[in-house]
Amino acid sequence: LIETQMENHLRTPNISDHPCFNGAVHGKKGRLHLPISPACNIQCRFCRRDCNSKELRPGVAKGILPIEEAVDIVGKALELCPEITVVGIAGPGDALASFHAVEAFQQVHKAYPHLIKCLSTNGLALPGKADLLYDLGVRTVTVTVNAVDPWSASKVVSHILWEGKVYRGEEAGRILLAHQLRGIQQASQRGIVVKVNTVLIPTINDHCIGDIARTVKKAGATVHNIIPLIPQHELKDIPAPTCEQINKARSDGEVYLKQFRHCQHCRADACGIIGKEDLSAKLYGGRRMET
Ligand code: SF4
Ligand code: SF4
């Protein structure tokens, strides 16, 4: 065991061990999401964050994990599932809207330098962070880009909060997109693989999936993950896209970017091998968490 631990400390994170970026290890390697980020700096009209143990969707976790418990949880997760190669932070809020994710990665990277750190963000606070993230072992970043024109953006996002000021409507959309593209460019130039998630929202962005893929590819993204809308919050009356609509969107995106088709829309505290038993209930069972 000591030899294995020493070997792990000599290894650096390797993207080919990421089950969501390398199909060859899909179903063999696992991932752990640390539910560490409590807040968000934008409000998407479809987003309803929640703390519960039942729902299987992004934005949901049993509770918020205190930063000082992150290393302990990673250790316990590795005991439950030694195949874990990725520690991700994907909520329940935005990973860059507070300092929690960076501090947790600092501690986790020190303890487990061989694990890939993976971060999901809306991209508003991504510019200027590429060097910091790389030094924390982050090798994969997912940026959610749902629109590349201000009108669609204003229909997806009700407001953003930037440098203490609230922006709404098309102005919010313009600022968000500029930050997303600059963040993608800087991260990809630093050697971080950038995947873009797009929530497919019929009547709002289904006509511009090709434009989104073309624009983010130009900025440096290499993979595109189109995920169907879960109708809730302000967009609860928009029906979820049909399989035909999802396939059409992926075909439109594929003209420009490789499409990732195996996303399971994991919880913000998911643990284990994707497609197999989710171990988060075992991992957090009995642990009192802030909600
Ligand atoms: Fe919710 Fe993510 Fe949008 Fe924030 S960026 S409102 S957490 S979906
Ligand atoms: Fe992979 Fe999708 Fe789950 Fe993220 S949400 S870990 S991309 S399957």
Which pair of tokens denotes residue 231?
A: 């109708």
Q: ipTM of this predicted complex?
A: 0.92
* 86 pocket-lining for ligand 2 (C-beta < 6 Å): no
Ligand nearest to the CA of 234: 1
What's the 264 CA to ligand 2 centre distance in angstroms?
A: 6
Give the start-to-end residue ranges of the domains of the chain.
2-284
Query: Does residue 127 surpass a pLDDT of 90?
Result: yes
Condensed to tens digits (0 to 9), the pLDDT of residues 8-52 reads 655 667 788 898 888 788 889 999 999 999 999 999 999 988 888
According to the model, what pLDDT value does residue 5 have? 59
* 43 pocket-lining for ligand 1 (C-beta < 6 Å): yes
The CATH number of domain 2-284 is 3.20.20.70: yes
